Amino acid sequence: MTPFIFWVNLADAAPLREAVELPEERVVSVAENEDTLLLSPGSVTVVRPQEMRGEQKNLPELLKQVPGLHVVETKGRGAYTVASIRGSSAAQVAVYVDGVLMNLGSEAAVDLSTIPVENVERI
């Protein structure tokens, strides 16, 4: 077998293209802007506790007003409370507090009665 040696002349190489500047990446959340909620393919309900004028004493009472959301208070009022959406289990409903997913670990469902309604900005 005969070894081949290739000589590359840099002058004959293809010229480099100019660097292309890419546009800045932009991430948009559906829930940030109500205009984009109108364009959402599904049913979206935004609840702001401030608009309810203090009628609800806790978060489960506020959530009972949302269409399609089923709130279950086990062992009576003020006890362990979970929510399901249109037939899903409570573990399938993602609950975020300050952008952090609360459905982690062995407890897949979140006890909604532990979240103070006065600390809720929007649902």
Instruction: Give pLDDT tens digits for 2-31.
Output: 555 555 555 555 566 777 676 666 554 444
Burial classification of residue 103, based on how many CB atoms lie within 10 Å of its CB (0-12 exposed, 13-18 middle, 19 or more buried): middle
CATH of domain 30-119: 2.170.130.10
- For residue 60, the number of C-alpha atoms closer than 13 Å in the C-beta half-sphere is 19
Asked whether residue 59 carries a pLDDT value surpassing 50, the answer given is yes
Once rounded to an integer, what is the mean pLDDT over residues 78-91?
Answer: 83
State the pLDDT at residue 63.
83
pLDDT-wise least confident of 4-8, 35-39, 89-93, 95-99? 4-8
User: Domain segments of the chain: what residues?
Assistant: 30-119
- pLDDT confidence tier of residue 51, bands split at 50, 70 and 90: low
Q: What is the mean pLDDT of residues 38-61?
A: 70
At 39 the pLDDT is 64
